[in-house]
């Protein structure tokens, strides 16, 4: 069933584990996320990321994510990810998304606060929960990250009332960059803010690094699955007559396996 972000993260905190937040950039990935979460009997966060708006428009994918969240046997939080634009967020909230990630970490402090307040008000007026980043997590293109400054962060949190925090502690959205997490900083941020922490760009982090991050207060892990590409390449290379429909199960199965393994790590099993 459809759920907000806070109850899912509160339950994760009680169980000292984290919940997977997966980006549904195609219907196959969306199907795999729901099937795996239902099979495992665990809650899940399904994200629509504004980063992929050109390839996967909100107007097509948003209503599908929300409808399938409502019908799921487990708790599903449909969440808008990496949003800057208030109108974009309004569209998603109108569709029924129950959480929003505001991404203003690359803005100057005052502007970030001003926009953050505006977006918190928007989310609250729609009874949705809100995550914000502080300290820029780069790597979507080739931008560099900026490590979270704790003093600045506390000033930001005095002004902007968020439910979950995505810090920058050595993580990156890049799939190839070497990542070294600063666990002491994560722990310090967790203790000082008392907020559930979110780890962006966890896709190529080793399992041990993820488990350690969870011990430091990470409750939501953003994981982008790119599984299935090799299998599709092999299929096309070896099959003479094929269709998109015949590729569906190849992608669903590959992504499901990848997500199942990730969820096992996040749930500390
Ligand atoms: Zn991210």
Two tokens at 150? 């704790």
Contacting residues for 203 by C-beta, under 8 A, at least 6 apart:
175, 223, 224, 225, 226
In angstroms, what is the span from residue 200 Cα to ligand 1's centroid? 5
Is residue 109, in this structure, part of any structural domain at all?
yes
Q: Looking at the DSSP assignment, which residues form a beta bridge with residue 132?
A: 102, 165
Is residue 170, in this structure, part of any structural domain at all?
yes
Domain that holds residue 17: 5-227+258-266
163 sits in which H/E element? none
In angstroms, what is the span from residue 176 Cα to ligand 1's centroid? 15
In angstroms, what is the span from residue 239 Cα to ligand 1's centroid? 36
In angstroms, what is the span from residue 242 Cα to ligand 1's centroid? 34
Is residue 131, in this structure, part of any structural domain at all?
yes
In angstroms, what is the span from residue 114 Cα to ligand 1's centroid? 21
Is residue 13, in this structure, part of any structural domain at all?
yes
Is residue 93, in this structure, part of any structural domain at all?
yes
Task: Give the chain's length.
Answer: 269
Q: In whole angstroms, how far apart are CA 96 and each of 3, 80, 124, 128, 222?
A: 10, 10, 13, 9, 21
Q: What is the pLDDT along the chain (269 residues), one digit of tens a residue?
A: 999 999 999 999 999 999 999 999 999 999 999 999 999 999 999 999 999 999 999 999 999 999 999 999 999 999 999 999 999 999 999 999 999 999 999 999 999 999 999 999 999 999 999 999 999 998 877 788 889 999 999 999 999 999 999 999 999 998 777 778 999 999 999 999 999 999 998 877 899 999 999 999 999 999 999 899 999 999 999 998 888 898 999 999 999 999 999 999 999 87
Helix (H) and strand (E) counts in the chain: 10, 8
Rounded Cα distance between 129 and 102, Å, is: 11
Is residue 240, in this structure, part of any structural domain at all?
no
The closest of 182, 180, 184 to 204, measured between CA atoms, is 180
Is residue 239, in this structure, part of any structural domain at all?
no
Rounded Cα distance between 104 and 29, Å, is: 27
In angstroms, what is the span from residue 217 Cα to ligand 1's centroid? 18
Taking ligand 1, which is a single-atom ion, which protein residues have CB atoms under 5 Å away? 200
Q: How many domains in the chain?
A: 1
Q: If DSSP codes are grouped into helix, strand and coil, which group holds residue 123?
A: helix
What's the pTM?
0.96
**Rg of the Cα trace of the chain?**
18
In angstroms, what is the span from residue 240 Cα to ligand 1's centroid? 38
In angstroms, what is the span from residue 246 Cα to ligand 1's centroid? 31
Q: What's phi and psi for 83, nearest 5 deg?
A: -100, 140
Is residue 129, in this structure, part of any structural domain at all?
yes
CATH of residue 13: 3.20.20.70
Q: If DSSP codes are grouped into helix, strand and coil, which group holds residue 252?
A: helix
In angstroms, what is the span from residue 81 Cα to ligand 1's centroid? 7
């Amino acid at each position: 069933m459809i759920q907000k972000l806070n109850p899912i993260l509160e339950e994760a905190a009680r169980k000292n584990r984290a919940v997977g937040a997966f980006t549904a950039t195609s219907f196959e990935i969306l199907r795999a996320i729901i099937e795996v979460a239902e099979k495992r009997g665990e809650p899940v966060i399904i994200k629509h990321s504004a980063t992929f708006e050109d390839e996967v428009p909100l107007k097509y994918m948003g209503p599908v994510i929300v409808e399938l969240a409502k019908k799921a046997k487990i708790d599903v939080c449909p969440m808008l990810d990496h949003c800057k634009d208030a109108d974009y967020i309004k569209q998603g909230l109108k569709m029924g998304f129950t959480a929003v990630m505001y991404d203003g970490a690359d803005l100057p402090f005052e502007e970030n606060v001003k926009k953050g307040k505006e977006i918190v008000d928007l989310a609250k007026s729609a009874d949705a929960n809100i995550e914000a980043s502080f300290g820029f997590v780069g790597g979507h293109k080739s931008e560099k990250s900026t490590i979270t400054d704790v003093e600045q962060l506390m000033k930001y949190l005095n002004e902007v009332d968020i439910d979950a925090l995505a810090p920058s502690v050595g993580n990156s959205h890049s799939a190839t960059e070497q990542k070294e997490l600063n666990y002491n900083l994560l722990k310090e941020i967790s203790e000082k803010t008392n907020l559930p922490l979110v780890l962006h760009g966890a896709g190529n982090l080793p399992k041990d690094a993820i488990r350690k991050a969870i011990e430091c207060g990470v409750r939501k892990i953003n994981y982008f699955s790119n599984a299935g590409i090799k299998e599709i390449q092999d299929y096309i290379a070896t099959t003479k007559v094929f269709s998109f429909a015949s590729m569906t199960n190849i992608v669903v199965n590959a992504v499901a396996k990848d997500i199942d393994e990730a969820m096992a790590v996040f749930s500390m099993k």
